[in-house]
Structure 1
């Protein structure tokens, strides 16, 4: 199963329910370039995420940290971290993705000691899992086994999944990470989410740099530095890209023409929308609409 588009709230938190019928776990086999945007856009969720790349190479970004994950390698992404993924050099990248509720990896009695500190740590945004490291190999193998267990759904598979996840979590936290809790880092991530939150609430309106900076309680120059570090683009370029993302589903609606869509997502000129859409998507909104109708 692949989710080709997922909804997020105005705070970029993913709204897709991450669970099977019984387990607070979701398992997807994802081909990055089949997402509606052509990549996995920036989002976050309360669940941990474990990734195993089975084909090609993926370029992930977790908060402001880029990481390239090659075939056979994996990734742990911590709860609450902003992240996105792109297919590096159009390799047809495919990965197995497990989203897991933190409450599920150990019993309730052990959660405070063995899970909560790792969620709150500011130096544990992600862990790159490479097969040259013994403990990481075990986690990568468990990701494959869990995908198979959920796909086959044999009797008692839920218990097997639970055991695999507990093993994965134990392996991860035993690898010697010295946890840090830096208030500055926590504030920085919170401010970035606040600015993104404001954009996603107001993208259809006129937006100035001052508005975005004010949402993060920053100066204009510091606001630009935040976006450069996290997203490698300016705040207003991000606004334009987000508007184009929001236009994709609208363009698939027969009762909206291109001009309607342009104004609904915040562009004040159809020609400017067409120009920015073409540069972003490598085709015009008219062509996109025709292909999707």
Structure 2
């Protein structure tokens, strides 16, 4: 099994280039359990994303909302929205993921009318794509077609652009009532600022005051943001993020558990071991040995 890892910057923006050699898009199959964490961690990107679940069932979180997507159905995730995914009920979930730069969907002349209003709207972070609806089936069939066209037959670039136009037309033909809420924009920005600060400083001592200050919030409002958007506390998020970072370090042959604990910001090896066991259902040393044996 190939273990995969999504590289993100300090602001949780995914660093993976979503493009083929010549086109600003990427289309690939993702098996959730093959990720290094066992799930797809929270991240965002400028590209629009379409998902087609081909096996099992996935649980997605997009901004504050959680939704389950079953085999055969899919999801539209808008540009700039925080999202994560996990396998539901150990179903072995896998899905086709299509990421495409907004400017590539339609010609420049049509962008302002048919693309910009949708990616700027604050009431459209995602859309469930139901395969039993004609418009939904059209979109999902087109996503599957793009996935096949990535293995380039002649003129595949033009064929892909035709499929993208079909996808977008079926998406917007439903006549969404778009909204632009400044409060929602500020809330998203503040959340990203707090996460950015944590990801820059996770190896240091972090307090609730530090995190709240990064988002220009009070301590209580900071806690409400994390509870509402991530269903956790700020300091619990810090601990979980430190454990995520430790997974890569533990796979380095020369690393020790104590060294890794301090590198990711724990000031006690025993506390690191305790928190790692609660998160991963094994000790850091057992995880390290398991990965060394896999290698």
Return the TM-score normalized by structure 2. 0.97
Name the CA shift for 1:92/1:247 in 2 (closer, same or farther; >3 Å). same
SS of 1:228's equivalent?
helix
Please name the residue that 2:63 is paired with: 63
Q: Answer whether contact 1:3 1:30 (CA < 8 A) is retained.
A: no
Tell whether 2:212 aligns with 1:213.
Answer: yes
Structure 1 ranges of 4+ moved more than 6 A: none
Please name the residue that 2:150 is paired with: 150
> How many Å apart are 1:3 and its aligned residue?
7.7
Please name the residue that 1:10 is paired with: 10
In 2, the alpha carbon distance for the partners of 1:28 and 1:245 equals: 24
Q: How many residues in Structure 1 have an aligned counterpart in Structure 2? A: 291
Q: Deviations over 1:203-261 (max 9, x none)?
A: 00000011101111111111111101111110100000000000111111112111100
In 2, the alpha carbon distance for the partners of 1:4 and 1:28 equals: 13
Name the CA shift for 1:3/1:77 in 2 (closer, same or farther; >3 Å). farther
In 2, the alpha carbon distance for the partners of 1:120 and 1:173 equals: 14
> How many Å apart are 1:132 and its aligned residue?
2.1
Tell me whether 9-18 or 249-258 shows the greater mean CA deviation. 249-258
In 2, the alpha carbon distance for the partners of 1:193 and 1:46 equals: 14
Please name the residue that 1:190 is paired with: 189
Please name the residue that 1:141 is paired with: 141
Please name the residue that 1:266 is paired with: 265
Please name the residue that 1:228 is paired with: 227
Please name the residue that 1:169 is paired with: 168
In 1, the alpha carbon distance for the partners of 2:157 and 2:291 equals: 39
Q: Answer whether contact 2:47 2:101 (CA < 8 A) is retained.
A: yes
Tell whether 2:126 aligns with 1:92.
Answer: no
Q: Deviations over 1:144-182 (max 9, x none)?
A: 11111113x111111111110111011111111010000
Please name the residue that 2:107 is paired with: 107
SS of 1:288's equivalent?
helix
Q: Deviations over 1:182-201 (max 9, x none)?
A: 00011111110010011001
In 1, the alpha carbon distance for the partners of 2:75 and 2:58 equals: 11
> How many Å apart are 1:82 and its aligned residue?
0.2
5+ residue gaps, structure 1, are: none
Q: Answer whether contact 1:52 1:143 (CA < 8 A) is retained.
A: yes
> How many Å apart are 1:10 and its aligned residue?
0.3
In 1, the alpha carbon distance for the partners of 2:272 and 2:252 equals: 17
In 2, the alpha carbon distance for the partners of 1:287 and 1:24 equals: 41
In 1, the alpha carbon distance for the partners of 2:28 and 2:194 equals: 30
SS of 2:243's equivalent?
helix
In 2, the alpha carbon distance for the partners of 1:26 and 1:244 equals: 29
SS of 1:90's equivalent?
coil
Tell whether 2:72 aligns with 1:72.
Answer: yes
SS of 2:223's equivalent?
helix
In 2, the alpha carbon distance for the partners of 1:221 and 1:88 equals: 32
SS of 1:89's equivalent?
coil
Q: Answer whether contact 1:3 1:28 (CA < 8 A) is retained.
A: no
Please name the residue that 2:240 is paired with: 241
In 2, the alpha carbon distance for the partners of 1:79 and 1:192 equals: 16
